[in-house]
Amino acid sequence: MNNLPINEISNFLNIPVKEIDSLIPIIENNWIELIHDAKFKYSSIILPLIIKNSTFEISNQFSFKSSKLAKMLIHSNQIFFYSATLGLAVDKKLKLKSYYNLEDALVYNACANSLIEIETQKIFDTLKKQQARLNKYTSIRFSPGYLDLDLSNQNLFLSITNSTSKIGLTLSNHLALIPEKSITAFSCISNRKLPTSYNCSLCDFYNKCLSEGGFKCEF
Amino acid sequence: MNFKEYIKSNYLLLDGAMGTEIQKEYPNLNFSPEILNIENPELIENIHKKYINSGSQAIITNTFGANSYKLSNSKYSVTNVIESAITIAKKASLNKVFIGLNIGPIGQLLKPLGSLDFDCAYNHFKEQIMVLKNHPVDFIYLQTFSDLQELRIALLAVNENSNLPVIASMTFNENFQSLTGTTIEAFAVSLRDMDVDALGINCSLGSHALLPGIESLLNYSKQPVLFQPNAGLPTIKNNTTIYSENPKIFLSNMEKACDLGVRIFGGCCGTTPKHIKLLSLYLNNKKTIKTTTHQFKTKICSYSNVVDFDKGIVVIGERINPTGKKKIKNALIKNDMEYLIKESINQINSGAQILDLNVGIPEIDQISSMTNLINEIQSVLNTPLQIDSDNPLVIEKALRNYCGKAIINSVTGKISSLKTIVPLAKKYGAAIVGLTIDENGLPKSTLDRVSIAEKIINYCISKGIPNENIFIDALTMTVSAQQKEVPDTLNALKEIKNKYNVKTILGTSNISHGLPNRSVLNRTFLTMALSNGLNATITDPTCNDIFETILAYRVLNGEDIDSINYIRNFDCTKDKKDKEHSTIKTSLHDSIYYGYKESIIKIINDKLEKQKALDIIHNEIMPSLNILGNDFNNQKIYLPQLIRGAETVKIAFEILKENLPKSHIKNQPKILLATVEGDVHDIGKNIVKILLENQGFNIIDLGKDVSETIILKTIEKENIKLIGLSSLMTTTLPSMEKTIKLVKENHPNVAIMVGGAVLTFEYSKQIKADFYGKNAQESVEFAKNFFLKGI
């Protein structure tokens, strides 16, 4: 199978690529199943941005705070909000597999994480190209819950992208995205160059991180 | 004329978009538009007036998102917002047009996939509806729902808290499925026999793209159909949102909808008073209403899967029933969903189209057991369900929680039974099985059976149950005890089928109780019943003889065109046998290490002929598991391989358990596992569970999103010494901390191990956990040491 994203899947399975050969058949089966189940949908919007101190002011309507991000992105004047989901059928299949074949569930889960990551990256790559044509620069993407950007901002992100009605993305009482295989993120846009890589030591979770220097982390 | 009467004999034109009209004044709206009912009532009144002046015969209040979840950050209460909206609508209408209370989805997903529970959702809707006690309107409009279950809950809240007419409308995507997977047919079949005055499709793609969808709904709905699409899809040009369908285009599609049979019209996002004006002119010139008559078929459905009883024999799986099934009984007592779901999957894979659910054992709370089972099955499977109980309270709770149209199994010909059960079928739009038994006991002849069937049918029809929702069971008698009555059952079946326009059903396995080689009797009786006109059999589809008989019948009766399913099945069977044959020579160790699930059953059965179960476990399985664990720790294998081996061992244990001394099983150390409150991720916990089970621990798995109260109660009830808690989200770590604190306060001798993606060793110490497992295997080692050495 040519389009099997084996590097991403092995990352999410925490298995070195060179060791994954014996699992290829099961990965292929799960990938095919996932492509059938997943209904990738996303919602996005570009809005004017002013960063003052640690506050991101968007269109004079919304705001969120992050002093670390504000320092990194201070020269931005637009912000791209994005939310995406693979849909509920993936959650249901994952749960079903957890009941009758846990190995399959584990692989399917890794495939689903890979798929949403790949689709998301495509959108952000397109954004980068589009902005480059306008002589503008985009930053790497950030999500609520990382750095000092509080997870409670999920509500704001969903509201700005109108994600509940557009793509069926909701929040649980404990701020989990539902469907589970979903992402909210943003990227800043500027006339000046913005950070395109990320220093893990900035992250609030640096000391707690299990992902060994960004391995599996969105940054 | 009141609204209910009006829509029976007239076209009705609703208004157009409220939200996009508001956005013209507030392009950067960053608060709930419903707040404008209080802060800018003139604007809302003017929008209403524009639509009334354009010809709307009914206006919808600006209350789409006026629920306590969406208004949680607002300074206004739900009651304030709705009261104001109704006052504005009344002021604008001057009693010239109907007013409908607009209710939209809450904005959260229902359990078990989401975090909103049934009662909480119900109370949100009830709160909105109760405002109408002092501020009456003409009807209630439930619109833009993408979750059928949420819409059902809203409909129940309306019907239980008001006497108003109600329209129920869903929104569908380009595949004519809702975001939660509901099809238009399942939507209509689920609601068409409930107390609802119109069904509809609104919002979404636009009038052109939704036309095939509305045509489909017209085929399945018994009620007048509403069509309120967007003005096409929006695009943004120069910072302005533009919808693709101008009033003329919109009208041309609405004319087609009218020709198809739509009776209630309106416009959703992007429509304007101009759209409504053109539509009004068109409808005013329509002299006659198109009415269509459909012969509705017997259909049962889940949220997405419809079973049509007019397409041939329907197989209803009977295995989820504790009568005579010790493992099912134990699973129900222990709330072992894994076993029950696997049993459901086995039946579906063997051809069950509907699953019968019976939780009738006195040791358990049958209401909560049935509810949990339905919720869990519906969260992973879309097979429709039959609710099998003689307890009306169990049936009602099941019907409330079931998303779709269920079958009630059953009502008898006793007046008391008819009076209790039939109203439930009516209220929840369910189908019902009538057993031909009454106050006089078991029927003694064919005539008795037919006569009781007639009594049941007449009663059901008098209470508004349509013929297509009635099944009659002429009672399968046990041939070993009542041989003479077997022909009565078959004769009655034939006569009922010929005389009344209802469906027939039989629990065919009952025929063979007490006799050897039951499957021969079962399949022969099934064949006889089928030739007498049986529509549905409640049977064990995992029994190969039954499955093959049904496959053959479908070929011979012309249901399996070109014998496609028949050929496919027997080819697969051959493959399966070849596969089994090719793997039987593998050793037990290799089967475990490489996860050969196909061969493990035969290997264990062969070994049991020569060895004791305990010896197999200690001398062969445990050493293999140790090798597997060590190789995982040394990164010779990885988690998927470890899990595959563990699952293979689990299959082995299922067989070995039957051969272990009872005292051994009773003395297995118990471990409680749970994902903490608020967290909906449980794959990690499930991995730990299977590895612990492999080591012989008795796992009490409380699932995910588990409150500390339930954990504390279970520790006490089950005398737990070790618990494992999992959390994947930073926002649920406080739940974990709180749970640990309470466990330590109330049960200081209970040890706690924790794990999960966001946890670290340092944090686990901070929250006073006894052990942090970086991976599942580490937790297993800790548990082994804990029970062996007490550490």
Higher pLDDT, B760 or B42: B42
In a domain, B377, yes or no: yes
Which residues of chain B lie closer than 8 angstroms to A208, CB-CB?
758-760, 762-763
Please say if the pLDDT value at position A182 is more than 90.
yes
Q: What are the residue boundaries of the structural domains of chain A, listed by start?
A: 6-202
Dihedral, B245, B249, B250, B254 alpha carbons, nearest 10: -150
Smallest CA–CA distance, residue A164 to chain B, in Å, is: 7
Chain B residue whose CA is closest to A46: B239
ipTM, 2 dp: 0.86
pLDDT band at B64 (very low <50, low <70, confident <90, very high): very high
Which residues of chain A lie closer than 8 angstroms to B643, CB-CB?
102-103, 106
Q: Are residues B692 and B644 in the same domain?
A: no
Q: Are residues B173 and B29 in the same domain?
A: yes
Q: Are residues B167 and B230 in the same domain?
A: yes
In a domain, B264, yes or no: yes
- Residue B625 is part of which domain span? 588-657
Smallest CA–CA distance, residue A129 to chain B, in Å, is: 20
Least confident interval from A83-92, B185-194, B566-575, B589-598: B566-575
Q: Are residues B133 and B274 in the same domain?
A: yes
Pairing of strands A182-190, A76-85: antiparallel
Cβ B431 vs Cβ B472: under 8 Å: no
pLDDT in tens, B89-133: 999 999 999 999 999 999 999 988 888 999 999 999 999 999 999
Smallest CA–CA distance, residue A5 to chain B, in Å, is: 18
Smallest CA–CA distance, residue B466 to chain A, in Å, is: 34
Fold type of domain A6-202: NADH Oxidase (3.40.109)
Which residues of chain A lie closer than 8 angstroms to B647, CB-CB?
101-103
In a domain, B497, yes or no: yes
Asked whether the beta carbons of residue B731 and residue A175 sit closer than 8 angstroms, the reply is: yes
pLDDT in tens, B422-481: 999 999 999 999 999 999 999 999 999 999 999 999 999 999 999 999 999 999 999 999
Classify burial at B75, counting beta carbons within 10 Å of its beta carbon; exposed 0-12, middle 13-18, buried 19 or more.
exposed
CATH code of the domain containing B673: 3.40.50.280
- Best mutation target among B202, B673, B730, B733 (most A Cβ atoms within 10 Å) is B730
In a domain, B560, yes or no: no
Please say if the pLDDT value at position A208 is more than 70.
no
Q: Are residues B55 and B31 in the same domain?
A: yes
Q: DSSP of B139-172, one letter per residue?
A: EEEEEEE--HHHHHHHHHHHHHH----EEEEE--
Q: Are residues B238 and B358 in the same domain?
A: no
In a domain, B653, yes or no: yes
Please say if the pLDDT value at position B515 is more than 90.
yes
Please say if the pLDDT value at position A197 is more than 80.
no
pLDDT in tens, B289-336: 877 777 899 999 999 999 999 999 999 999 999 998 999 999 999 889
Q: Which of residues 152-211 of B touch A (CB under 8 A)?
A: 179-181
In a domain, B363, yes or no: yes
Please say if the pLDDT value at position B662 is more than 50.
yes
Asked whether the beta carbons of residue B640 and residue A91 sit closer than 8 angstroms, the reply is: no
pLDDT in tens, B128-155: 999 999 999 999 999 999 999 999 999 9
Taking the Cβ of residue B651 and every Cβ of chain A, the question of whether any pair is shorter than 8 Å is answered with no
Pairing of strands B98-103, A177-178: unpaired
Please say if the pLDDT value at position B280 is more than 90.
yes
Cβ B764 vs Cβ B754: under 8 Å: yes
Cβ B227 vs Cβ B184: under 8 Å: no
pLDDT in tens, B629-640: 888 888 888 888
Helix (H, G, I), strand (E, B) or coil at B307: strand
Residue B597 is predicted with a pLDDT of: 85
- Of B284, B309, B324, which marks where a domain is finished? B284
Amino acid at B153: I
CATH code of the domain containing B55: 3.20.20.330
Please say if the pLDDT value at position B580 is more than 70.
no
In this prediction, residues B35-39 reach a mean pLDDT of 97
Residue A194 is predicted with a pLDDT of: 83
Please say if the pLDDT value at position B264 is more than 80.
yes
Chain A residue whose CA is closest to B109: A170
In this prediction, residues A179-192 reach a mean pLDDT of 94
Average pLDDT, chain B: 93
Residue B648 is predicted with a pLDDT of: 92
Q: Are residues B205 and B334 in the same domain?
A: no
Which residues of chain B lie closer than 8 angstroms to A151, CB-CB?
730-731
- Best mutation target among B171, B683, B694, B775 (most A Cβ atoms within 10 Å) is B683
Tokens describing residue A161: 């992208």
- Of B542, B559, B574, which marks where a domain is finished? B542
Q: Are residues B726 and B628 in the same domain?
A: no
The DSSP element (H or E) to which B473 belongs, if any, is strand B470-473
Amino acid at B270: G
Residue A178: which of B109, B641, B731 has the nearest Cβ? B109
Q: Are residues B672 and B528 in the same domain?
A: no
Q: Are residues B478 and B623 in the same domain?
A: no
pLDDT in tens, B40-63: 999 999 999 999 999 999 999 999
Please say if the pLDDT value at position A211 is more than 70.
no
Residue B757: which of A164, A179, A210 has the nearest Cβ? A210
Please say if the pLDDT value at position B205 is more than 90.
no
Taking the Cβ of residue B732 and every Cβ of chain A, the question of whether any pair is shorter than 8 Å is answered with yes
Residue A100 is predicted with a pLDDT of: 87
Q: Are residues B390 and B511 in the same domain?
A: yes
Burial of B20-39, coded b for 16+ CB within 10 Å and e otherwise, reads bbbeeeeeeeeebbbbbbbe
Residue B51 is predicted with a pLDDT of: 98
Which residues of chain B lie closer than 8 angstroms to A175, CB-CB?
729, 731
- Whether a cis peptide bond, with omega within 30° of 0, leads into B663 is no
Which is nearest to B411 in space by CA: B502, B323, B336? B502
In this structure, what DSSP letter does residue B706 have? B
Cβ A124 vs Cβ A196: under 8 Å: no
pLDDT band at B483 (very low <50, low <70, confident <90, very high): very high
In a domain, B291, yes or no: no
Total tally of structural domains belonging to chain B? 4
pTM here is 0.90
Please say if the pLDDT value at position B584 is more than 70.
no
Q: Are residues B639 and B692 in the same domain?
A: no
CATH code of the domain containing B644: 1.10.1240.10
Residue B572 is predicted with a pLDDT of: 67
